[in-house]
Amino acid sequence: MKRYDCLKLLAPMVDEHTFAVTSLSTNAPFWFNVRPEGPNFFALNMGLCLPFALGLTAAFPKRKVISIDSDGSLMNDASSLITVADVNPPNLVAFVFDNSSYAFMGSTFTARRTDLAKMAQGAGIAKSGTVRTLEEFSAAAKQAIESPGPHFIVAKVEPDAGRVAADRSRTSGRPMREWFMDAVRRHPDYQGRR
Amino acid sequence: MKRLDCLKLLAPIVDEHMLTVTSLSSNTAFWSDLRREGANFFGCNMGLCIPFALGLTAAFPKRKVIALDSDGSLMVDTSSLITVADVNPPNFVAIVMDNGSYARMGSTFTTRKTDLEKIAQGAGIANTVTVQSEEALSAAVEHALATSGPHFIVAKVEPDRVRVKGDPHRTYGRFMRECFVDAVRRHPDYQQARK
């Protein structure tokens, strides 16, 4: 299973008011290509993707917040799973693309014994599972977006180093944050100053 | 089950050449009173107890290294369990005293849904157990010290606020570190670094 194919399946399931947060590196340019518009926060640093999404679930309780994380990133702060379980936000959908390696660095493994879905269950996230095929991914994603969560889906993907071009001014740094804030201010649920 | 009773059971099982590392607060005060000699590192800050012990397992591969951690501390860096599972040190024994709260702060809960043993299994540590009684703890620790690990033991204890007065010189700061390094230098397995 390839990460890009998963994200291509996911994009049409996500409506215009759904929030999405991605980890660094591969997830950011891929997701930008399949969902360039809407409230997206791209390329959070290692360990910060899931916690950032958790914060958004509190700010926008009526909307689904989708965290598009990766195994290396989540392993930087596996404790965030405990906080997610304890807060128990029904609108959080967390995907972890697990290629078992830091592929960006020429494939060094992340961990050889770890089962992230089981760690999430241990943390207390009941709706937690692993998918290995596109059919399973599609079914799990659809179910997670339509039903109350929190949901935690580990998608086992190949450690390909496939690259797609993305406009860096939309996926990193200050301009990306401005785009995100702009989308938040235009969001129908936004309660702050416009 | 009370933490102090658990540690009292543990002290006679630990031999003089094993190395121990404790988390802050209750574990430090109790353990320093029970095991006055030997290589003890007391009062590792939140999240640092298991990683510190993991480092010692590499330095002393023939001796058991015992991490006396607590739930609040381990939850600061749960990722360390992934590293323990990956390094897979046979001489590593973690005992997590889980009172479900930050009792020192007037009892605020740590978490309401988490099963630390299951997290450790998910991380990839095969030998894990949760114990609710002193007999079970005793058996689990004896098994862990006699067999190849890594072992991960969760001891469910009451959130009591009993205090024993630990000697701050021996449990904190520079003097504690000097005592630890001194014990390490006198350890039979210590191999002096080449200059």
pLDDT in tens, chain A (194 residues): 999 999 999 999 999 999 999 998 889 999 999 999 999 999 999 999 999 999 999 999 999 999 999 999 999 999 999 999 999 999 999 999 999 998 877 778 999 999 999 999 999 999 999 999 999 999 999 999 999 999 999 999 998 777 788 888 899 899 999 999 999 999 999 988 76
Q: 3-class DSSP state for residue B152? A: strand
B124 close to A (CB below 8 A): yes
Query: Is A82's CB within 8 Å of B123's CB?
Result: no
In one letter, which amino acid is B47?
Answer: G
pLDDT for the residue numbered B16 = 94
Domains of chain B (ranges, CATH numbers): 3-186 (3.40.50.970)
Cβ <8 Å between B123 and A85: no
pLDDT at B50: 98
Residue B62 per-residue DSSP state: T
Q: Is A190 inside any structural domain? A: no
Q: B157-172 b/e with 16+ CB inside 10 Å = b?
A: beeeeeeeebeeebbb
Domain assignment of residue A191, yes or no: no
Q: Does A86 touch chain B (CB under 8 A)?
A: yes
* CA–CA separation, B169 and B148 (whole Å): 35
Query: Could you tell me the pTM of the whole model?
Result: 0.93
Residue A193 lies in a domain: no
Give chain A's domain count: 1
Whether A46 has its CB under 8 Å from any CB of chain B: the answer is no
Closest CB from A76, A121, A124 relative to B79: A76
Alpha-helical regions (H) of chain B? 3-10, 26-34, 49-59, 71-74, 80-87, 116-123, 134-146, 168-171, 173-186
Give pLDDT tens digits for A50-78. 999 999 999 999 999 999 999 999 999 99
In terms of phi and psi (left: phi > 0; alpha: psi -120 to 50; beta: otherwise), the region of A25 is left
Q: Identify the CATH number of the domain in which residue A129 sits.
A: 3.40.50.970
Bridge pairing between strands A19-23 and A65-70: parallel
**B113·A85 Cβ contact <8 A:** yes
Q: Report ipTM for this prediction.
A: 0.92
- On whether residue A122 sits in a domain, the answer given is yes
Question: In the numeric block, which tokens belong to residue B99?
Answer: 């009172």
Domain residues for the domain of A51 are: 3-185
Mutate to test the interface with B, among A82, A83, A100, A127 (most CBs of B within 10 A): A82
Bridge-based pairing state of the strands B151-156 and A151-156 = unpaired
User: Is residue A110 in some structural domain?
Assistant: yes
pLDDT string in tens for chain B (195-residue length): 999 999 999 999 999 999 999 998 889 999 999 999 999 999 999 999 999 999 999 999 999 999 999 999 999 999 999 999 999 999 999 999 999 998 777 778 899 999 999 999 999 999 999 999 999 999 999 999 999 989 999 999 998 777 777 778 888 889 999 999 999 999 999 987 655
Which residues of A are less than 8 Å from B117 in CB distance? 122
B78 with A81: Cβ contact below 8 A: yes
